[in-house]
Structure 1
Amino acid sequence: MEALFQYFRKFSPLSKEAEKAIAEISSMVTIKKNNDLQPIGHTCKTIYFIKKGVARIYYFKDGIDITERFFFENSIIARVESLFTGKPSRKAIQILEDAEVVAINSNQLFKLYDDYPEIERLFRKIFESAYVETVNRIEGIQFHSAEERYNALLHEAPDVLMRVPLKYVASYLGITQVSLSRIRGHR
């Protein structure tokens, strides 16, 4: 759990009592490569912290598998549109490498907000940061070329090409694998 609390400290400090309360509603989960942590149609009731491994959020559009985002070690992942609405998600979370994650029960977490305002503040900051990342991702698609998006991805996650299948990288960039090969060839 220490890695989780170190991650939290980047956003906001927590008292030992608040850390203990979060630890009591959390569990370590090991999941094998290529398994869904949360399948499509699942209602999100868990917030995950990736201690080890890589995950992606994906969905299908017209029968095509589309990668929305990658998550690496020391990041939080959840289907927030489902988490906050209670509706099933049209997207899934898939593990791309054997992974260790901390699973935080969201219903119990939200109950802690009243007793520990510092926990509510922490998760507000985490979700604000995730919102900004989502806006940046959308603007990247709107305003940057595929090559610029590729370079930004490599800057953000230098080992992505060694850890993630190229078909998912191409999908994330919104291009074909042939176009990705062409971009990689220009480097």
Structure 2
Amino acid sequence: MQQLFQYFKQFSPLTAEAMDAIADICKLLHVAKHTDLQPIGHTCKTIYFLNKGIARIYYYKDGIDITESFAFENDILVRVESLFTGRPSRKAIQVLEDAELVAIDANQLFQLYDRYPEIERLFRKIFEAAHVETVNRIEALQFHTAEERYKALLNEEPNIIQRVPLKYIASYLGITQVSLSRIRSQR
């Protein structure tokens, strides 16, 4: 839990009592690589924190597997659109490496909001940051070339090429594997 609470500190402080309340609704999970943590069609009721490993959110469009995002160590992982609407998600969460995660029961977390305003504030800030990240991702697809997106990805996660299959990276960048190979050969 120490890693999780270190992550929380960058957003908002918590009292010891609030930390204990969160710890009480968390479970430590060990998940094997290539496992769908949440399959397509699942209604998200859990917020995950990645202690160790890599995961991705993906979906299918016209039968093609498309990677929407990656999560690395010290990232929150959640299908927000499903969590907040209560509807099944058209996207899945897949673990790409053997992973250790903290699972936070969302319903129990939301019940803590009334008793601990600092928990509500913390998760508001976390979800706001995730929203900004999503907007930045959309804008990168709109305004940057594939090569610029690839360079930015390497700056953020220098070891991604060693840890993630190239087909997922190409999909994330919105290009084919052939185009990714061409970009990589120019470097």
Q: Provide the TM-score with structure 2 as the length reference.
A: 1.00
Alignment match, 1:128: 128
CA distance in 2, matches of 1:36, 1:19: 29
The amino acid of 1:135's aligned partner reads V
Alignment match, 2:98: 98
Alignment match, 1:13: 13
CA distance in 2, matches of 1:80, 1:161: 27
Please give the secondary structure, in 2, of the residue aligned with 1:87: coil
CA distance in 1, matches of 2:65, 2:144: 22
Alignment match, 2:182: 182
Q: Provide the TM-score with structure 1 as the length reference.
A: 1.00
Q: How many residues align?
A: 187
The yes-or-no answer on 1:165 pairing with 2:131 is no
CA distance in 2, matches of 1:62, 1:105: 33
The amino acid of 2:102's aligned partner reads V
How far did residue 68 of structure 1 move?
0.3
Residue correspondence of structure 1 range 77-92 to structure 2 within 5 A: 77-92=77-92
The amino acid of 1:96's aligned partner reads L
Alignment match, 2:64: 64
Please give the secondary structure, in 2, of the residue aligned with 1:126: helix
CA distance in 2, matches of 1:122, 1:157: 25
CA distance in 1, matches of 2:22, 2:65: 35
RMSD: 0.3
Residue correspondence of structure 1 range 101-120 to structure 2 within 5 A: 101-120=101-120
Spell out, residue by residue over 1:147-184, the C-alpha distance to the aligned partner (whole angstroms, 9 max, x if none). 00000000111100010000000000010101000000
Please give the secondary structure, in 1, of the residue aligned with 2:111: helix
The amino acid of 1:45's aligned partner reads K
How far did residue 31 of structure 1 move?
0.2
How far did residue 77 of structure 1 move?
0.5
CA distance in 1, matches of 2:127, 2:92: 19
CA distance in 2, matches of 1:176, 1:44: 30
CA distance in 2, matches of 1:185, 1:136: 27
Spell out, residue by residue over 1:114-139, the C-alpha distance to the aligned partner (whole angstroms, 9 max, x if none). 00000000000000000000000000
Stretches of structure 1 that go unaligned for 5 or more consecutive residues are: none
> After the TM superposition, which segments of 4 or more aligned residues of structure 1 sit over 3 Å from their partners?
none
CA distance in 2, matches of 1:160, 1:12: 29
The amino acid of 1:66's aligned partner reads I
The amino acid of 2:22's aligned partner reads I
Stretches of structure 2 that go unaligned for 5 or more consecutive residues are: none
Please give the secondary structure, in 2, of the residue aligned with 1:33: coil
The amino acid of 2:74's aligned partner reads N
